């Protein structure tokens, strides 16, 4: 609604749907609009707002903090954008709700020089800060929406915040409006460094990245991942230099990775410009340090050697005339990230290109799989992939494997080989024999990986939770997957995943671990996996081994929550239900007829009272926890008890004492059950990649968790109060 000097209307041409908000000035001067509703907030908690804007004057956005009586306490305003733009661009701000604040509104502001000037707004958000899951940095360092305190000048620079005109993807909610601006105070090298120093684990491969906005196309701009010891002394720095594509005025995510040294305790990021002119500005957005992306499950190559984001890492050319380098410029040729390994040959000859050597445990009798993704740049090539082996003393043991490929087209192609491990081998390296078929040939390599070859599909019964773990390896990211549980009778049932049943679900990782808590007890089952490339009319398939969950004690049965397996419980049954099957009927007595006319609906499913015992206080509390949500449950009894696995809804539950002393822990329960259909859209709950590091990055003390989460389960699922 209008708050100051404005009228509002619905416009067209929005980004998140066709509509957008049009705020029109009544007269010259600042105009403001605000949300009609006020949204509940908690004092002392940080909140974020952002929106996409467009117009002929710069704008700003704010959070208006209100008391319980809707009295304005204060407003947290963003800086005003550096320029006006008729294209959609992001504005945003974040701040802590002040003392006494119980509600908040979003304010939209701009200051035209005349009346009847339109400003357009779209994609408005107000809520808790949106941050990168797994980021070691706190929100205040990843984003500049609060302030610039997460960064400090290191050499020849000042550090401030700016709101440049930056257009992000409509669903890139990690990008805000404010950016860190590193301004060279004089001619020469200029740099800034993060003040946040999160802890790291020695031996772990970490990846740092941020969006860089260079001052000019030819500016020598870089980002560094740095490690520090327990005394705060810098012990290493890994630099990754941006090579901007034309025109060089955009935002480019630059990555640097390195394994934490044995004496590393903390880490940080630095960014800068070499040879800057006085007043030149390097801007940063979205700074992240996280455990490095695993390019292929089980690969022995660190990220730097597999993705080439900061150079060729440990790759060499032992023989031949080929020249290897990092591809250039940013984003020109890459499958992962923004760069790849460029290979060029001036002559039509063979060259050997080899990775560094890495530990390859397993020993004789095992085999490893080496794989690269490659694409043709110019000319023609024959590629032979093999593995070269070394013993613990680094003695060369020769190569095994060896599979040759050519390029059928200009796409990216996976090229792999399986290589047996020789006796005494403890290390391996990927070796490529690249034969150019013409002068001045060029090709590119990305996502290089070497891993122990293990079954593509594996199943394991977990009797303790009456579940089956299905592991799927070497999946193709971007394809879709369907997973069925198949009984001996051939009947197939879709298996549940994080977003519901796994039916044409998009594959986002080459490794999937699926926990099936709804598999039947004591019945042999196997899994059928269907893999659907885009546009395919028939899938590729896999089939697992057949396994059986141990049925166990026939006096016990499982009650399971399909979406929350952490609540599943096994209980002793007192008496199974005496089933009823209700039906809706209308009876009509017709005059002159002996028999009535009866109109019936379809007979309903089973209904009846299940009586059971809890034998301890822990079981009693666990059953309350299971019933609290009111979700549909799965009741599983041992085969042969006359009860099939059944999805049920439990009505009013009765908990009764069984006699004896007051300290008697046994309870007799009555659960009125109604048969229901299997939940289809319910997904398996989980932490979705969150770790304790995310908790440490977001909260200063354990006491802060008490005011944010009601239970430890809520911490796991990031389910916050309010």
For 602-657, what is each residue's pLDDT tens digit? Answer: 999 999 999 999 999 999 999 999 999 999 999 999 999 999 999 999 999 999 99
Q: Transcribe 655-707 into DSSP letters.
A: EEE-SS-TT---EEEEEEEEE-PPPSSPPPP--TT--HHHHHHH-SSHHHHHT
User: Would you give the distance in Å from CA 413 to the centre of its chain?
Assistant: 26
* C-beta separation of 385 from 400 below 8 A: no
Dihedral sign from CA coordinates of 317, 320, 323, 326:
negative
* C-beta separation of 92 from 78 below 8 A: yes
Separation in Å, CA 258 to CA 214, 227, 261, 310, 358: 24, 9, 9, 10, 15
Residue-wise over 243-256: b if at least 16 C-beta within 10 A, else e? bbeeebebbbbbbb
Identify the band that residue 573 occupies on the pLDDT scale cut at 50, 70 and 90.
very high
* C-beta separation of 106 from 34 below 8 A: yes
Identify the band that residue 531 occupies on the pLDDT scale cut at 50, 70 and 90.
very high
Residue with the larger pLDDT of the pair 698 and 339: 339
pLDDT digits (tens, 9 = 90+) for 455-465: 999 999 999 99
* C-beta separation of 522 from 548 below 8 A: yes
Across the chain, mean pLDDT equals 95
* C-beta separation of 10 from 19 below 8 A: yes
For residue 31, cis peptide bond before it (omega within 30 degrees of 0):
no
Dihedral sign from CA coordinates of 293, 297, 301, 307:
negative
Separation in Å, CA 327 to CA 119, 217, 239, 278, 305: 42, 17, 16, 30, 14
Whole-number pLDDT of residue 701: 85
**In whole angstroms, what is the distance from residue 116 CA to residue 374 CA?**
56
H helices present in 19-161, as ranges? 139-142
Whole-number pLDDT of residue 638: 96
Range 675-688 average pLDDT = 92
**In whole angstroms, what is the distance from residue 625 CA to residue 629 CA?**
8
Whole-number pLDDT of residue 93: 98
Range 283-305 average pLDDT = 97
Residues 6+ apart with CB under 8 A from 485: 492, 493, 494, 495, 516, 518, 519, 525, 526, 527
Residue 177's Cβ-count burial label (10 Å; 0-12, 13-18, 19+) is buried
Q: Transcribe 468-504 into DSSP letters.
A: EEEEE-S--TTSEEEEEEEETT--EEEPEETTEE-SS
pLDDT digits (tens, 9 = 90+) for 324-361: 999 999 999 999 999 999 999 999 999 999 999 999 99
For residue 261, cis peptide bond before it (omega within 30 degrees of 0):
no
Whole-number pLDDT of residue 322: 98
Residue 662's Cβ-count burial label (10 Å; 0-12, 13-18, 19+) is exposed
Query: Would strands 525-532 and 480-487 be described as parallel, antiparallel, or unpaired?
Result: antiparallel
pLDDT digits (tens, 9 = 90+) for 143-202: 999 999 999 999 999 999 999 999 999 999 999 899 999 999 999 999 999 999 999 999
Whole-number pLDDT of residue 203: 97
Whole-number pLDDT of residue 395: 97
Separation in Å, CA 191 to CA 140, 180, 225, 231, 610: 19, 12, 13, 22, 69
* C-beta separation of 185 from 151 below 8 A: no
pLDDT digits (tens, 9 = 90+) for 535-560: 999 999 999 999 999 999 999 999 99
Three-state SS sequence of 288-337:
EEEECCCCCCCCCCCHHHHHCCCCCCCCEEEECCCEEEECCCCCCCCCCC
Classify residue 56 by its DSSP letter.
S
**In whole angstroms, what is the distance from residue 57 CA to residue 133 CA?**
35
pLDDT digits (tens, 9 = 90+) for 107-120: 999 999 999 999 99
Instruction: Provide the token pair at 290.
Output: 């996280």
Residue 597 has pLDDT above 80, yes or no: yes
Whole-number pLDDT of residue 610: 97
Whole-number pLDDT of residue 240: 98
**In whole angstroms, what is the distance from residue 57 CA to residue 80 CA?**
10
Mapped onto helix, strand or coil, the DSSP state of residue 559 is: strand
Instruction: Provide the token pair at 174.
Output: 């990690």
Instruction: Provide the token pair at 722.
Output: 């309010």
Range 215-241 average pLDDT = 97
Mapped onto helix, strand or coil, the DSSP state of residue 623 is: helix
Give the closest residue to 339 by CA, choosing from 492, 214, 248, 447.
447
Three-state SS sequence of 641-653:
CCCCCEEEEECCC
Range 577-586 average pLDDT = 95
Residue 80 has pLDDT above 90, yes or no: yes
**In whole angstroms, what is the distance from residue 91 CA to residue 49 CA?**
9
User: What is the percent of the chain where pLDDT is above 70?
Assistant: 100
Separation in Å, CA 575 to CA 2, 571, 676: 64, 12, 21
Chain length of the chain:
722
Separation in Å, CA 577 to CA 185, 348, 635, 670, 690: 80, 80, 12, 10, 42
* C-beta separation of 556 from 547 below 8 A: no
**In whole angstroms, what is the distance from residue 420 CA to residue 426 CA?**
12
pLDDT digits (tens, 9 = 90+) for 394-418: 999 999 999 999 999 889 999 999 9
**In whole angstroms, what is the distance from residue 88 CA to residue 177 CA?**
12
Residue-wise over 30-44: b if at least 16 C-beta within 10 A, else e? ebbbbbeebeebeee
Whole-number pLDDT of residue 662: 87
Instruction: Provide the token pair at 181.
Output: 């601006």
Mapped onto helix, strand or coil, the DSSP state of residue 24 is: strand
Instruction: Provide the token pair at 702.
Output: 């354990």
Task: Look up the pTM and report it.
Answer: 0.91
Query: What is the H or E stretch that residue 620 is in?
Result: helix 617-628
Separation in Å, CA 104 to CA 2, 285, 505, 679: 16, 26, 38, 37
Residue 722 has pLDDT above 80, yes or no: no
Classify residue 549 by its DSSP letter.
B
**In whole angstroms, what is the distance from residue 38 CA to residue 421 CA?**
66
Beta-bridged to residue 573, according to DSSP, are 612
* C-beta separation of 178 from 163 below 8 A: yes
Start-to-end CA span in the chain (Å): 25
* C-beta separation of 404 from 474 below 8 A: no
Instruction: Provide the token pair at 217.
Output: 């196309």
Residues 6+ apart with CB under 8 A from 8: 1, 2, 21, 22, 23, 24, 33
Residue 719 has pLDDT above 90, yes or no: no
């Amino acid at each position: 609604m209008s708050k100051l000097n404005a009228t509002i209307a619905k416009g067209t041409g929005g980004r998140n749907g066709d509509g957008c908000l049009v705020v029109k000035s009544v007269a010259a001067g600042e105009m403001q609009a605000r949300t009609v509703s006020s949204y509940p907030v908690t004092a002392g908690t940080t909140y974020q707002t952002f929106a996409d804007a467009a117009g002929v004057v710069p704008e700003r956005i704010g959070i208006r903090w209100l008391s319980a009586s809707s009295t304005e306490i204060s407003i947290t305003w963003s800086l005003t954008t550096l320029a006006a733009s008729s294209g959609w661009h992001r504005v945003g701000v974040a701040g802590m709700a002040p003392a006494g604040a119980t509600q908040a509104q979003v304010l939209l502001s701009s200051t035209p020089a005349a009346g009847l000037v339109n400003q357009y707004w779209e994609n408005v958000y107000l809520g808790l800060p949106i941050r990168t899951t797994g980021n070691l940095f706190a929100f205040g360092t990843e984003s500049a929406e609060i302030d610039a305190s997460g960064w400090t000048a290191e050499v020849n620079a000042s550090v401030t915040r700016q709101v440049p005109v930056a257009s992000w993807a409509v669903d890139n909610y990690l990008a805000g409006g404010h950016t860190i601006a590193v301004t060279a105070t004089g001619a020469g090298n200029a740099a800034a460094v993060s003040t946040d120093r999160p802890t790291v684990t020695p031996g772990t491969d970490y990846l740092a990245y941020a969006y860089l906005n260079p001052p000019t196309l030819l500016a020598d701009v870089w980002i560094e991942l740095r490690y520090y010891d327990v005394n705060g002394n810098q012990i290493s720095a890994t630099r990754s230099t941006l090579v901007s594509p034309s025109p060089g005025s955009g935002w480019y995510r630059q990555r640097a990775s390195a394994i934490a040294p044995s004496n590393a305790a903390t880490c940080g990021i630095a960014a800068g410009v070499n040879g800057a002119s006085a007043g030149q500005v390097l801007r940063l957005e979205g700074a992240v340090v996280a455990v490095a992306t695993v390019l292929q499950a089980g690969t022995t190559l660190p990220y730097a050697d597999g993705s080439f984001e900061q150079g060729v890492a440990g790759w060499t050319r032992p023989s031949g005339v080929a020249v290897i380098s990092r591809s250039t410029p940013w984003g020109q040729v890459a499958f992962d990230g923004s760069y790849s390994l460029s290979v060029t040959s001036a002559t039509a000859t063979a060259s050997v290109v080899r990775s560094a050597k890495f530990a390859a445990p397993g020993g004789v009798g095992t085999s490893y799989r080496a794989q690269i993704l490659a694409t043709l740049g110019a000319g023609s090539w024959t590629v032979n992939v093999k593995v070269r082996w070394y013993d613990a003393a680094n003695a060369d043991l020769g190569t095994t494997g060896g599979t040759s490929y050519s390029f059928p087209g200009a796409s990216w192609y996976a090229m792999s080989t399986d290589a047996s491990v020789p006796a005494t081998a403890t290390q391996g390296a990927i070796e490529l024999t690249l034969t150019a078929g013409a002068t001045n040939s060029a090709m590119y390599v990305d996502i290089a990986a070497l891993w122990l070859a293990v079954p593509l599909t594996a199943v394991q019964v977990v009797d303790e939770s009456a579940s089956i773990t299905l592991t799927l390896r070497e999946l193709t990211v971007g394809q879709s997957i369907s997973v069925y549980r198949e009984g001996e009778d051939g009947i197939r049932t879709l298996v549940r995943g994080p977003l519901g049943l796994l039916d044409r679900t998009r594959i986002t990782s080459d490794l999937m671990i699926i926990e099936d808590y709804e598999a039947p007890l004591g019945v042999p089952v196997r899994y059928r996996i269907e893999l659907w490339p885009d546009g395919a009319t028939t899938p590729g398939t896999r089939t697992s081994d057949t396994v059986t969950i141990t049925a166990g004690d026939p006096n016990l049965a499982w009650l399971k929550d399909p979406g929350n397996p952490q609540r599943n419980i096994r209980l002793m049954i007192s008496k199974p239900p005496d089933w009823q099957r209700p039906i809706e009927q209308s009876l009509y007595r017709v005059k002159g007829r002996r028999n009535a006319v009866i109109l019936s609906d379809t007979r309903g499913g089973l209904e009846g009272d299940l009586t059971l015992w809890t034998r301890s206080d822990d079981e009693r509390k666990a059953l309350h926890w299971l019933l609290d949500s009111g979700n549909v449950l799965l009741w599983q009894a041992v085969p042969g008890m006359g009860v099939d696995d059944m999805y049920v809804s439990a009505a009013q539950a009765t908990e009764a004492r069984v006699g004896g002393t007051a300290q008697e822990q046994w309870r007799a329960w009555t659960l009125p059950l109604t048969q229901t259909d299997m939940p289809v859209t319910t997904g398996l709950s989980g932490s979705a990649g969150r770790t304790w590091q995310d908790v440490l990055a977001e909260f200063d003390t354990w006491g802060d968790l008490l005011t944010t989460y009601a239970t430890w389960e809520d911490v796991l699922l990031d389910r916050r109060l309010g």
